[in-house]
Structure 1
Amino acid sequence: MKEGRNGMLIAQVTDIHLGFDPGNPAELNRQRLDQVLRALIDGPNRPDLLLATGDITDHGDGDSYRALAEAFAQCPFPVWPAMGNHDDRANFAAHFPHVPQDGGFVHYVVPLPGRRIIVLDTLEPGRHGGAFCEARAAWLTARLDEDATIPTLIVMHHPPVEVGIDWMNTHPDEPWVQRFSAAIANRPNITALVCGHLHRTITAPWKGTTVAICSSTAPQLALDLRPMDPDAPDNRPMIVADAPAYALHRWTDAGLVTHFETAGEPATLAKFDAGMQPLVRMLMAERPG
């Protein structure tokens, strides 16, 4: 895998929810995924690899995983998926046999030149929120102990941080959060946590690292930070249809820089032509070296 002057470029898609409209090969969520994949494949920022961080199907059914495998097959770069609360491990394994499983969980290490990605499994069937049991904590601890210095990116569906969207919040006292927090304590080589689940673009500091949460290719959550009373519906928007989103994580020796983007064709208001050349020259001449 290449790594040039600009470091390694890692793309992320999340919360694809393929199969929300069962039996429809032209469903909206597939169209939105294909729009993002075209941007990654044909655009100027083709990544070295793609992370698909959970809820990659809506019902965890075999037909949806089959369609997802077909969609990812067009990618000229590796695709590494994670499990979300809408996923099913057995059906996933039938269509993604190359993705490692260990002890019944879809967690594994992606070794890279001078660094590594650790993909975690936070699925607990029947639960919408995250899960991280003692067995998964022991597995993660063992992987982290194998090399305590190599820069490490942790990838997981559920973010362990509270973000203020009341109906989708993670409470800091949830047992799985406490267990995960203990597993990564005093690990300065953890560069960042990359997550999904919230269908919004969010970054937050947490336990000495940064949590980068990518918005979804499927429709997104409305941004409303007011408290919510589950016994008093107030007609607030909950799901909105902004453009399908993705993230680009530029990982260099200096750390991780994340760019959040949407797929589509925005209007170009300026381009690098003779008229803009003096500005570009001036700005780049101001830099040392």
Structure 2
Amino acid sequence: MLIAQITDIHLGFDPDNPAEYNRKRLDAVLDVLIEGPNRPDLLIATGDITDCGDADSYAQLKAAFSRCPFPVWPSVGNHDLRDPFHAAFPGFDDGAGFVQYAIELPELRLVTIDTLEEGRHGGAFCGARAAWLDAELAKDGGKPTYIVMHHPPIESGIEWMNTHPGEPWVDRLTRVVRRHPQVRGLICGHLHRSVTVAWEGRTIAICSSTAPQVSLDLRAIDPDRPDDRPMIVAEDPAYALHHWNGRELVSFYDHAGAHTTLARYDERLQPLVRELKAERPE
């Protein structure tokens, strides 16, 4: 089972440009997923899929996804708006208006939750959403489960993008997850950086964005003293591949830019491949 992840598309950042930069970056990633050697079984899009939550951007995004030969499961982040999202992508509603749903796969479950509070940059997770998650996880305690969400509930070190571990929404989420040991980990976006971190005995896998990335700068930042540091950088558009090997979910991070080939599998490397394969038990 191969699960692709894209995040932070921010489509509509340049709304009047038919050749929008963020759309080109999205298309480059979709090209790799559709035409490359690792075509996934499904694609999850983990929030901030538009920049302003407008209907036109969701319509363009739906058109972009329409060429995918695999199902696409979208969710929302702090740049999205629920009503236009639901209008473009019906069927991802938990019954209370939140974008929350479960994906039932043969060997594992993906449970998507909604961490959007409209008008707030950081995450949110109210009592109603927590109750839905608790009930949804209780439906199948025996199958390995991963929670899919936009905001990671951790302090990353990129100070202006941090989530404080004492925020109420983090505590609410944590208390639910602790009750369900089948939850193996979280799959997130938001940071515009590929990050892996241990949390509550589980793994959080955070994917870089298809849109431009956040600069990797772990210095303290003073809101009263701009210091001219880079904030957003134009690294290649990124994606993740989460491979379920029957035991663990193995996360790979890659980009849609050029890859210089230094060696190919030909007769010269055939002995090495044979040797490595022979070392493995049947």
Q: 1:269 aligns with which of 253, 262, 281?
A: 262
- Give yes or no for contact 1:102–1:108 (8 Å, CA) kept in 2: no
Secondary structure in structure 1 of the residue aligned to 2:155 = coil
* Alpha-carbon displacement from aligned partner over 1:12-57 (angstroms, at most 9, x marks no partner): 0000000000121210000000000000000000000000000000
* Alpha-carbon displacement from aligned partner over 1:83-130 (angstroms, at most 9, x marks no partner): 100001110111112333420101011111132110000000110000
Q: 1:62 aligns with which of 55, 59, 74?
A: 55
Alignment match, 1:4: none
- Is the aligned partner of 1:117 residue 2:132? no
- Is the aligned partner of 1:17 residue 2:14? no
Deviates more, 1:111-120 or 1:167-176: 111-120
Counterpart of 1:274 in structure 2: which amino acid?
E
- Give yes or no for contact 2:107–2:246 (8 Å, CA) kept in 1: no
Q: 1:201 aligns with which of 191, 194, 205?
A: 194
Alignment match, 2:80: 87
- Give yes or no for contact 1:159–1:213 (8 Å, CA) kept in 2: yes
User: Structure 1: which 4+ aligned runs deviate by more than 3 Å?
Assistant: none
In 1, the alpha carbon distance for the partners of 2:132 and 2:18 equals 38
Q: 1:135 aligns with which of 114, 128, 135?
A: 128
Counterpart of 2:66 in structure 1: which amino acid?
A
Q: TM-score under structure 2 normalisation?
A: 0.98
Counterpart of 1:287 in structure 2: which amino acid?
R
Q: 1:155 aligns with which of 138, 145, 148?
A: 148
1:229, distance to aligned residue in structure 2 (A): 1.0
- Is the aligned partner of 1:100 residue 2:68? no
1:201, distance to aligned residue in structure 2 (A): 0.3
In 2, the alpha carbon distance for the partners of 1:186 and 1:208 equals 13
In 2, the alpha carbon distance for the partners of 1:62 and 1:23 equals 14
Alignment match, 2:252: 259
Q: TM-score under structure 1 normalisation?
A: 0.96
- Give yes or no for contact 1:58–1:87 (8 Å, CA) kept in 2: yes
Write out aligned runs for 1:170-185 (5 A): 170-185=163-178
In 1, the alpha carbon distance for the partners of 2:93 and 2:18 equals 28
Alignment match, 1:165: 158
Alignment match, 1:3: none
1:150, distance to aligned residue in structure 2 (A): 1.3
In 2, the alpha carbon distance for the partners of 1:234 and 1:52 equals 34
Percent sequence identity over aligned pairs: 63
Aligned length: 282
Deviates more, 1:278-287 or 1:131-140: 278-287
